[in-house]
Chain A
Amino acid sequence: MKSSSLAGAIGTGSASSRERERERASASASASASVSSIKFRMPTKEKEKESLIPIHLDLDLDAHRYKDAFTWNPHDPDSLVLTFAKRTVKDLKLPPTFVSHISQSIQHQLAEFRSFGGQDMFIHEKIVPLKLDLRVNNTVVRDTFLWDISNFESDPEEFAVTLCNDLDVADPEVAPAIAVAIREQLYEIATQSVSAVKEAKLGKKGRRGYELSKGGNNALDVSRYFGSKGSGVIRKRKDWYMNGPTVDVLTNEEVGTLEELNSRFRRKLDEKEDSFLQG
């Protein structure tokens, strides 16, 4: 893991200093989380062998649209998938064709998750800005915050519940939605750091060792803040607003117009896709 070639490739002072710090860290690390290769998993707290992965469903059949996002425990037996699909269809009064589609979709995503299992992923300490921009019923939440993906004690649900309590969000469905959104982003990061993917990238660029996070998310430049000459970990007041959450509650009409706009937009996209494919 030599830094010279990497430094040459990057060519920026800050990057090289970051590199050097990582070297230092890895050199002194014993069982550090900064450079560890562990089995693939969601980088969040696991309570009793129960990690949660985000599942995303978006089905549109027979003029019924079913869009949903939730978390699923991959350790649960697969028979539960079918049960869940049946129950969902029954509760939401969807046509029965949905049952098979839903269970298929869930299983597909589960399989994808499991395909990563057993592989090594390199999680070094990286503080990543996560974003929230979602609408749940009448509440719109926008937020951005920093998340350390090497922190396996992190708990998106707890964060979501705290956020909702602090901001006095009335709708109880908001917190789970926030947790799912966080998990989705974490999942994406986790899959990106899986070794198979990395090695492919490495092979392409002829490099070995830990690649910098250039391709991935724009991780925080830790030296800028945390280093000895850093500007400190306390933001300026004018930046507080940008880094804080905003929660808006819409009236039903606003929600209606939003949906209207969304569907129109989607239709346009579909049309464009179709035309693209055909053309």
Chain B
Amino acid sequence: MSEGGEMAPNGGAEPSRELYTIPFSSSWFQWNEIHETEKQALPEFFEGVSTTKNPRIYKDYRDFIINKYREDTSKRLTFTEVRKALIGDVSLLHKLFRFLETWGLINFSAAHKPNKKEGQAVETRVLVEEGPPVGLRVLSAPMPALPPQGKPLEEKKLIGGENGLKLPPLTSYSDIYGEWDPRTGSLCGFCGDLCLASQYIKMEDGLKVCLKCSKSKDGDKDEATEVKTAPGPAPAPAPEPEPAPAPAPAPKPAPAPAPALLSVPISTPTPVPSLAWTDSEMLLLLEGVLKHGDDWDLIAQHVRTRNKTECIARLIQLPFGEHIVSPTNGKSVSRLPVIQSKLVEIEVSKEPVQINGEVSGLERTSEEPPSKKSRIASYGSATDSLIKQVAILSTISGPHITAAAADAAIIELCNESDHAKVVFDKSKFDAETKSNLSNLEPPSDLGAEGEQPTILLQETETPSNESEEKFTTTAYRIRASVATAIGATAARAKLLADHEEREIENLMATIIEAQMRKLQVKMKHFAELEAMMDQEYDLLQQQKRYLVREWVSLLRQAFDTGVPRWKENAVPKPSIIRSTQ
């Protein structure tokens, strides 16, 4: 090791040296000296008593072990590796090794080796969404309690390259096989507990939450019950939890606007056996849409096996689903991949919300009435990163800022149409009721919501024909929220796609690199072979020439001694010819 000098944690500054990290508590360590601490810990070397233990030897041992570790600081150095290279009593060496290890002079940056005896901490490659661990939840407010819970699951999230390149798992990534263990049933996505068949709540995208987790999170039981009884809940793969994870994530990679929270054993109005839409169902759906356009009840009737919201969900998932809807009723929900900052241009009263920051989206969604729109609302909030939302909310000082932002959006909206005013007006009452119900953090959110409708109220007048407009606003709301949802999804999808691409590129790069290295090694190998062959060839030539010379001298001698006649037979002709070539 050419490097001398101090190995202090505040690092050698010279760029030619590597930085060797040791804990600050070990900063007494000096490469060139032996410190008091060492002398006290290992007195055997310093008593001056024995021939095999003296400070010089101690330093040799110590330096060797540390240098051996520095060869690869990420790999944990084991005692066995060093003791086979050192001469001396293994017990004493072990003591020295342990001393170095406890002081962090070695194995400080190495990965900790999991103790075999500690249970089976299986590093399952179970994948749970990293972002919003929720998927879809019927909540009036985001879950601040969730992110901390989401963190413990991060240990389980390992995908792909374990060569130090650990990208966070993508939200759409779901390891259906990892999680699925038919023997043990399904695991709760949050607490990792085993879920009994009847006590879990299944999320739209396959995530399962055991009842206690959902209870503790869900502050809004009313909403949950409303969800359950609302018509057209998402398909419930009812009695069999096992096959559920498999089909569940597959057809619904993107969260659908259908309700998330679903209790399995409760008999839903139309228990659907599987989530996958068959071709015939699709056909019926499309026919229904063409025929009935906007009337989802009729469409649902047409597609007998699916509920209203399912139909909506499925349609939107289709690449040009909305376009199918739009020409028929003139109110399109046409929005395909939308960049986040762009305002979605829709017809009047369709897109009241700007997708400029998830906050507004959140506001928008949270003001929906609790019946089926709330599902869609939660969809909107769920596609936006929940954690982001929470972070935003927590960083702001109070609801005022969110109110202001939402206010701006609302004003935009009001400028577009009068109906929007009505919409927001109506929602005021709902928002208030909801603020009573929810008791979690984003009551601040709702408070903001409650505020701005009141602000609006000052600006607008209460509409008289509430009941009549109810129906239209309902439709508006659906479309509006759907629009929000789609926009947010699209933006997120783009992000994910970018992420995926980057990941792919990285992996490709590593693959290519590996191939290159392989090829280089091969080339080197062949170059070496060639060099060897050349040498051999030279040698052979030399030998040949030498032989020829010998032969010539032999002939000469024979001649000199007076061999009378040059017998042809004595000289092997072919060899002459060969040798002169």
CA distance A225 to B50 in the complex (A): 13
Within 8 Å by CB of B89, from A127, A162, A166, A234, lies: A127
Bitwise, B346-378 to A at CB < 8 A (1) or not (0) is 000000000000000000000000000000000
A245 touching B80 in the complex, CB below 8 Å, given contacts A32-B50, A227-B51: yes
B92 near A151 with CB under 8 A, answer: yes
B49 near A153 with CB under 8 A, answer: no
Residue on A with the closest CB to B77?
A166
B79 near A166 with CB under 8 A, answer: yes
A232 proximity list for chain B (CB < 8 A): 60
A33 at the A/B interface (Cβ < 8 Å)?
Answer: yes
B29 at the A/B interface (Cβ < 8 Å)?
Answer: no
A146 near B94 with CB under 8 A, answer: no
B91 at the A/B interface (Cβ < 8 Å)?
Answer: yes
A220 at the A/B interface (Cβ < 8 Å)?
Answer: yes
A139 at the A/B interface (Cβ < 8 Å)?
Answer: no
CA distance A277 to B116 in the complex (A): 52
B565 at the A/B interface (Cβ < 8 Å)?
Answer: no
A34 near B90 with CB under 8 A, answer: no
A226 near B57 with CB under 8 A, answer: yes
B60 near A125 with CB under 8 A, answer: no
A145 near B52 with CB under 8 A, answer: no
Bitwise, A4-32 to B at CB < 8 A (1) or not (0) is 00000000000000000110010011101
**Which residues of chain B in 288-306 are interfacial with respect to chain A, using CB atoms and an 8 Å cutoff?**
none
**Which residues of chain B in 79-114 are interfacial with respect to chain A, using CB atoms and an 8 Å cutoff?**
79-81, 83-92, 94-95, 113
A240 near B85 with CB under 8 A, answer: yes
B95 proximity list for chain A (CB < 8 A): 153
CB of B73, distance to nearest CB on chain A (Å): 18
Bitwise, B37-64 to A at CB < 8 A (1) or not (0) is 0000000000111111010010011001
B78 at the A/B interface (Cβ < 8 Å)?
Answer: yes
B88 near A159 with CB under 8 A, answer: no
CB of B98, distance to nearest CB on chain A (Å): 9
Residue on A with the closest CB to B44?
A151
B64 near A234 with CB under 8 A, answer: yes
CB of B400, distance to nearest CB on chain A (Å): 59
CA distance A245 to B81 in the complex (A): 9
A146 near B49 with CB under 8 A, answer: no
Within 8 Å by CB of B91, from A148, A237, A244, lies: A148
**Which residues of chain A in 25-69 are interfacial with respect to chain B, using CB atoms and an 8 Å cutoff?**
25, 28-30, 32-34
A167 near B80 with CB under 8 A, answer: yes
Residue on B with the closest CB to A228?
B56
Chain A: number of interface residues, binned into ranges: 35 or more
A127 near B88 with CB under 8 A, answer: yes
A213 at the A/B interface (Cβ < 8 Å)?
Answer: no
Residue on B with the closest CB to A32?
B49
A138 at the A/B interface (Cβ < 8 Å)?
Answer: no
A25 touching B86 in the complex, CB below 8 Å, given contacts A151-B91, A166-B78, A234-B64: no
A33 proximity list for chain B (CB < 8 A): 49-50
B49 near A34 with CB under 8 A, answer: yes
CA distance A74 to B52 in the complex (A): 32
B84 proximity list for chain A (CB < 8 A): 145, 235, 240-241, 243-245
A28 touching B87 in the complex, CB below 8 Å, given contacts A166-B79, A226-B57, A233-B61: no
B50 near A154 with CB under 8 A, answer: no
A25 proximity list for chain B (CB < 8 A): 49-51
Residue on A with the closest CB to B57?
A233
**Which residues of chain A in 196-237 are interfacial with respect to chain B, using CB atoms and an 8 Å cutoff?**
220, 222-223, 225-227, 232-235, 237
Residue on A with the closest CB to B54?
A226
CB of B91, distance to nearest CB on chain A (Å): 4
CA distance A21 to B51 in the complex (A): 8
A151 near B89 with CB under 8 A, answer: yes
A146 touching B85 in the complex, CB below 8 Å, given contacts A29-B49, A167-B80, A233-B60: no
A225 proximity list for chain B (CB < 8 A): 52, 87
CA distance A136 to B47 in the complex (A): 41
CB of A183, distance to nearest CB on chain B (Å): 13
B87 near A235 with CB under 8 A, answer: yes
CB of B311, distance to nearest CB on chain A (Å): 55
B88 near A146 with CB under 8 A, answer: yes
A148 near B92 with CB under 8 A, answer: yes
A154 near B49 with CB under 8 A, answer: no
A162 proximity list for chain B (CB < 8 A): 79-80, 94
CB of B84, distance to nearest CB on chain A (Å): 3
Among B52, B61, B80, find the residue whose CB has the most chain A CB atoms closer than 10 A. Answer: B52
Among B54, B88, B95, B113, find the residue whose CB has the most chain A CB atoms closer than 10 A. Answer: B88
CA distance A5 to B413 in the complex (A): 112
A134 at the A/B interface (Cβ < 8 Å)?
Answer: no
A30 proximity list for chain B (CB < 8 A): 49
CA distance A153 to B95 in the complex (A): 10
CA distance A234 to B49 in the complex (A): 21
CB of A175, distance to nearest CB on chain B (Å): 11
CB of B158, distance to nearest CB on chain A (Å): 20
Can you pick out 26 interface pairs between chain A and chain B where the beta carbons lie within 8 Å of each other?
Answer: A22-B51, A32-B47, A32-B49, A32-B50, A146-B89, A147-B89, A148-B89, A153-B91, A153-B95, A155-B91, A158-B91, A165-B116, A166-B78, A166-B80, A166-B81, A222-B52, A225-B52, A225-B87, A226-B51, A226-B52, A233-B60, A233-B86, A233-B87, A235-B84, A240-B84, A243-B85
Q: Which residues of B are at the interface with A, using a C-beta cutoff of 8 A? A: 47-52, 54, 57, 60-61, 64, 78-81, 83-92, 94-95, 113, 116
12 additional A-B pairs beyond A166-B80, A220-B87, A244-B84, beta carbons within 8 Å, are: A32-B47, A127-B88, A127-B89, A146-B90, A151-B89, A154-B91, A167-B80, A225-B87, A233-B60, A233-B86, A240-B84, A244-B81
Q: Top 3 A-B pairs ranked by shortest CB distance? A: A148-B89, A244-B84, A154-B91
